Amino acid sequence: MASSISSGLRAFFGAGRSGVRGQMDALNRTQAVIEFALDGTILTANQNFLDAMGYALGDIVGKHHRLFVDPAEAASPDYAAFWKRLGAGEPDVGLYRRLGAGGREVWIQASYNPVLDRRGRPVRVVKFATDVTEQRLRTADMEGRLSAIDKAQAVISFTLDGHILDANDNFLATMGYEREEVIGQHHCMFVDRVARSSADYLAFWEKLGRGEYDSGLYHRVDRRGREVWIQGSYNPIFDMAGRPFKVVKYATDVTAQTRATRTLHASLTELADTVPAIAEQARATNALANEASRSAASGGAMVDAVIATMGAIQAGARDIAEIVGLIDSIAFQTNILALNASIEAARSGVHGKGFAVVAQEVRMLSQRSADSARDIRALIENTLERVREGSERSGEAGDAMRNILGSVTTLLDRVSDVARATNTQAGGIDTVRRAVAELA
């Protein structure tokens, strides 16, 4: 390359004066040009160079080239060797990092070209350069992004027909292979036997071969035959003419997440299938609670009626007791009258003998009435005691029934809430289940 550059320059400067001027004008319009003495002292520079570096011509003429170089680099042996080679007539071509005015970093794609006299001896150095700072920054940004992707994701590249060109460590670790085991093999080694022979798989690579992008969740098989789920994208890469020439895949291993999602989906499906039955049971329980509430209310009314009836019986028993007391009083008075009649009959002698018999019968009848009244009184008093006890028990039963009714009402409210919540939950679970199904 060095000899071809030197030959070109000799031809360039060996042309006629008008030809040289025309060619120099063309170079000055398109490139940054600067001339140096063999020791690196600046002789002149065109406007493109001055604009690229941010200097005026008077700022740099007579100064050394190290003005554009980092001080550490300028003091290095490599820099001294660089100018030694140029002084010996050897050109240098490459991408150079230079410093413009104010220490601004400038990247140039350039060639340092020793100019030879007619005897072939170098007399000065001409540098032709292009400012590629923006391109370099874009390249650095792209390289940084690709490096970050390479560190974070599984990356593998293929030919357009699916043969593996390269794979990074993340991909190899995910699939359990060594690099030499996959390079040159076909992508189908990561696909199960059924899928690899399918029409969809063939269409997949035909699509990529046409330069069409593909992304999604993919089921793959690792070296041991275990399933691997990856979230990835297959990206056709195009050449300068816009034609696809390879495919790069960026992927993330989501096997654990996918399995968890599928397990969750299965659980939610099971739950969604169970919840309607639970909801139906809740509705049935709600109906039973309503029926129990109605029964409790009816029972409460019946107990209240019983209490009222017992009160009426108790009142009637007290009335009977009063009547029996009146009968006992009448019997007592009748007995007194019969006794008086017996006395009067005895005074009447023979004429009052029949009347005395009647008086005796009346007195015995009144005595039996008095005995019966006392028995009835005792019975009624016992009945009143039982009625009183029954009334107390009925009152207690009424209180208990009212408490039961209150508890049943509260239970009914709770069961109704559960029934409504279960119906709402059934709808919510079904919505979540459908969402998880879409993810799965």
* Percentage of the residues of the chain whose pLDDT score is greater than 90: 47
| Token pair 């509430």: residue | 293
Assigned CATH for 260-439: 1.10.287.950
Asked if residue 342 lies in contact with residue 314, where contact means CB atoms within 8 angstroms, the answer is: no
Asked if residue 275 lies in contact with residue 425, where contact means CB atoms within 8 angstroms, the answer is: yes
Asked if residue 191 lies in contact with residue 221, where contact means CB atoms within 8 angstroms, the answer is: yes
What's the chain look like in SS3? Answer: CHHHHHHHHHHHHCCCHHHHHHHHHHHHHHCEEEEECCCCEEEEECHHHHHHHCCCHHHHCCCEHHHHCCHHHHCCHHHHHHHHHHHCCCCEEEEEEEECHHHCEEEEEEEEEEEECCCCCEEEEEEEEEECHHHHHHHHHHHHHHHHHHHHCEEEEECCCCEEEEECHHHHHHHCCCHHHHCCCEHHHHCCHHHHCCHHHHHHHHHHHCCCCEEEEEEEECCCCCEEEEEEEEEEEECCCCCEEEEEEEEEECHHHHHHHHHHHHHHHHHHHHHHHHHHHHHHHHHHHHHHHHHHHHHHHHHHHHHHHHHHHHHHHHHHHHHHHHHHHHHHHHHHHHHHHHHHHHHHHHHHHHHHHHHHHHHHHHHHHHHHHHHHHHHHHHHHHHHHHHHHHHHHHHHHHHHHHHHHHHHHHHHHHHHHHHHHHHHHHHHHHHHHHHHC
Q: Which CATH superfamily is domain 21-138 in?
A: PAS domain (3.30.450.20)
Most confident of 6-20, 238-252, 255-269, 370-384: 238-252
In what order do the strands lie in the sheet containing 122-131? 42-45, 32-36, 122-131, 105-116, 92-99
CA atoms within 13 A on the CB side of 55: 24
| pLDDT for position 72 | 95
Domain layout of the chain by residue ranges: 21-138, 153-238, 260-439
Residue 254 has pLDDT above 70, yes or no: yes
φ/ψ (deg, to 5) at 105: -75, 130
| pLDDT for position 64 | 97
- Nearest Cα neighbor of 297 from 141, 176, 405 is 405
For residue 2, what pLDDT band results from cuts at 50, 70 and 90? very low
**What is the per-residue pLDDT across 69-102, written as a single tens digit (0 to 9) for each?**
999 999 999 999 999 999 999 999 999 999 999 9
**What is the per-residue pLDDT across 331-371, written as a single tens digit (0 to 9) for each?**
677 667 666 766 766 776 666 666 666 666 766 776 776 67
For residue 282, what pLDDT band results from cuts at 50, 70 and 90? low
Burial profile 342-351: b = 16 or more Cβ within 10 angstroms, e = fewer: beebeeeeee
- What is the CATH architecture assignment of 153-238? 2-Layer Sandwich (3.30)
Same fold, 153-238 and 260-439: no
| pLDDT for position 5 | 46
